């Protein structure tokens, strides 16, 4: 390793340790990312070195369109693998409307200055209105205009959550809401749909990108194959009941509480996601285990084409 690179790596690790992320934990994260993306595990230490070196200098801009800020909340609430520390403390976050201390002209100045310099990672949270620009304005200008300007100088755009990926819940309304890919040309976009974003997918994708200088393999909907290869149904813990023809019909029946939720509106059979194999909240739970039918939030059809969400499919026309 060249001397300059070694210094960057050491600085990266030092900064990580100051934030309470040990080398061992960081290596573990990179190993998990390697597993998810199907890379040879022997590559994990190298990936950790490159990612550590890049973490300390890679600028990140986080823009918010039409959304509920749930994706930011999801990220800030995660405990492990320390998504918040890694993303918000260790990357150079230049602009984030919800958490940055600056406001007004000062905040907008940060955004403009960062765009001017270019070569940053751009994260989009929330959808983009196209029916009328006035549905979402930033600094007196249409969000669509601002977003396109920022994307034109970004290395890569990461659309976090269903709204930023495909329009999500706002797409069901009047605003003509769409996702990042629908309004950009010639810009690399990764979609990480779910409502809200699953923090480990965002961290894993960023680590992969920072450690390899390339994007992971994406499917036809722009999602990393590693996280969206199989359906929820494939590894759902209620699957045995599905095979036995045991379907929950009354919410409050204690005898059937673990039975399959298909007739309660579960969309898991056609939803590509790893929610049932890598559970949410640091492995604590996922919708099916918590008793809620999957609403298909990682699919492009969410929410409009999949509603009503909790209806018996036999009764939906
Ligand atoms: S609850 Fe949904 S995902 Fe789970 S087995 Fe039933 S239909 Fe499949
Ligand atoms: S289980 Fe279904 S509804 Fe729940 S987060 Fe995963 S994809 Fe979305």
The confidence band for 221, taking pLDDT boundaries of 50, 70 and 90, is: very high
Q: What is the pLDDT of residue 80?
A: 58
Q: For domain 230-317, say whether CATH 4.10.480.10 is its number.
A: yes
Q: Kindly report, residue by residue over 31-74, the tens digit of the pLDDT.
A: 887 777 777 777 788 888 888 877 767 899 999 999 999 999 88
Does any ligand 2 atom lie closer than 6 A to the CB of residue 231?
Answer: no
Of 316, 135, 287, nearest in space to 196 by CA: 287
CATH class of 3-226: alpha beta
Of 147, 112, 114, 115, nearest in space to 129 by CA: 147
What is the mean predicted confidence (pLDDT) over 198-217?
Answer: 89
Calpha distance 190→165 (Å, rounded): 8
Question: Which residue among 265, 268, 289, 312 has the greatest number of ligand 1 atoms within 8 angstroms of its CB, and so is best to mutate?
Answer: 268
Given a cut of 60, is residue 206 above it in pLDDT? yes
What is the mean predicted confidence (pLDDT) over 279-284?
Answer: 86
- Atom 2 of ligand 2: nearest residue by CA position: 294
What is the mean predicted confidence (pLDDT) over 89-109?
Answer: 80
What is the mean predicted confidence (pLDDT) over 78-92?
Answer: 66
Q: Kindly report, residue by residue over 173-184, the tens digit of the pLDDT.
A: 999 999 999 999
Given a cut of 90, is residue 150 above it in pLDDT? yes
Q: How many H helices and E strands in the chain?
A: 13, 7
Q: What is the pLDDT of residue 160?
A: 97
Ligand 2 atom showing the smallest separation from residue 268 Cα: 2
Give 187's contacts (C-beta < 8 A, 6+ positions apart).
151, 152, 154, 156, 157
Given a cut of 80, is residue 77 above it in pLDDT? no
DSSP symbol at 130: -
Does any ligand 1 atom lie closer than 6 A to the CB of residue 96?
Answer: no
Given a cut of 80, is residue 93 above it in pLDDT? yes
Ligand 2 atom showing the smallest separation from residue 299 Cα: 7
Of the two residues 45 and 220, the one the predictor is more confident about is 220
CA of 85 to the centre of ligand 2 (A): 25
Does any ligand 2 atom lie closer than 6 A to the CB of residue 271?
Answer: yes
* Most confident range, picked from 77-86, 108-117, 206-215, 259-268: 259-268
What percent of the chain clears pLDDT 70, i.e. is strictly above it? 93
Of the two residues 87 and 147, the one the predictor is more confident about is 147
What is the mean predicted confidence (pLDDT) over 301-314?
Answer: 90
Name the 3-class secondary structure at 25: helix
Q: What is the pLDDT of residue 12?
A: 77
Active-site positions read 68, 71, 163, 195, 233, 236, 260, 266, 275, 287, 294, 297
Q: What is the pLDDT of residue 186?
A: 92
How many alpha carbons lie under 13 Å from residue 79 in its C-beta half-sphere? 5
What percent of the chain clears pLDDT 90, i.e. is strictly above it? 58
Mean pLDDT of the chain: 89
* Most confident range, picked from 11-20, 101-110, 136-145, 261-270: 261-270
CA of 212 to the centre of ligand 1 (A): 36
| Cα 78 from chain centroid (whole Å) | 13
φ, ψ for residue 59, nearest 5 deg: -75, 150
Does any ligand 2 atom lie closer than 6 A to the CB of residue 287?
Answer: yes
Domain residue spans in the chain? 3-226, 230-317
Of the two residues 38 and 276, the one the predictor is more confident about is 276
CA of 104 to the centre of ligand 1 (A): 47
What is the mean predicted confidence (pLDDT) over 237-248?
Answer: 97
Given a cut of 90, is residue 262 above it in pLDDT? yes
Question: Which residue among 160, 195, 302 has the greatest number of ligand 2 atoms within 8 angstroms of its CB, and so is best to mutate?
Answer: 195
Given a cut of 70, is residue 25 above it in pLDDT? yes
């Amino acid at each position: 390793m060249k001397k300059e690179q070694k210094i960057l790596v050491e600085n990266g690790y030092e900064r990580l340790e100051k934030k309470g992320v040990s080398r061992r934990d960081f290596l573990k994260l990179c190993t998990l990312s390697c597993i998810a993306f199907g890379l040879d595990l022997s590559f994990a230490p190298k990936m950790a070195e490159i990612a550590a070196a890049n973490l300390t200098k890679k600028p990140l801009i986080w823009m918010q369109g039409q959304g509920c800020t749930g994706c930011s909340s999801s990220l800030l609430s995660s405990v492990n693998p320390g998504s918040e520390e890694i993303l918000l403390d260790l990357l150079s976050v230049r602009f984030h409307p919800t958490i940055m201390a600056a406001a007004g002209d000062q905040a907008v100045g940060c955004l403009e200055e960062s765009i001017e310099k270019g070569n940053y990672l751009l994260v989009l949270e929330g959808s983009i209105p196209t029916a009328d620009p006035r549905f979402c304005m930033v600094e007196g200008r249409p969000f669509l205009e601002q977003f396109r300007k920022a994307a034109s100088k970004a290395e890569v755009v990461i659309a976090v959550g269903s709204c930023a990926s495909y329009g999500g819940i706002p797409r069901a309304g009047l605003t003509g809401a769409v996702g990042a890919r629908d309004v950009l040309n010639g810009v690399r976009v990764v979609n990480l749909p779910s409502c809200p974003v699953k923090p480990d997918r965002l961290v894993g994708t960023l680590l992969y990108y920072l450690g390899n200088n390339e994007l992971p393999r994406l499917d036809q909907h722009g999602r990393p194959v590693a996280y969206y290869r199989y359906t929820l149904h494939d590894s759902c813990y209620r699957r045995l009941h599905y095979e036995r023809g045991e379907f929950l019909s009354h919410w409050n029946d204690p005898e059937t509480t673990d039975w399959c939720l298909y007739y309660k509106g579960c969309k898991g059979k056609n939803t590509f996601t790893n929610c049932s194999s890598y559970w949410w909240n640091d492995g604590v739970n996922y919708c099916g285990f918590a008793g809620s039918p999957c609403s298909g939030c990682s699919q492009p059809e969410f929410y409009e084409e999949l509603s009503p969400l909790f209806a018996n499919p036999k009764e939906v026309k």
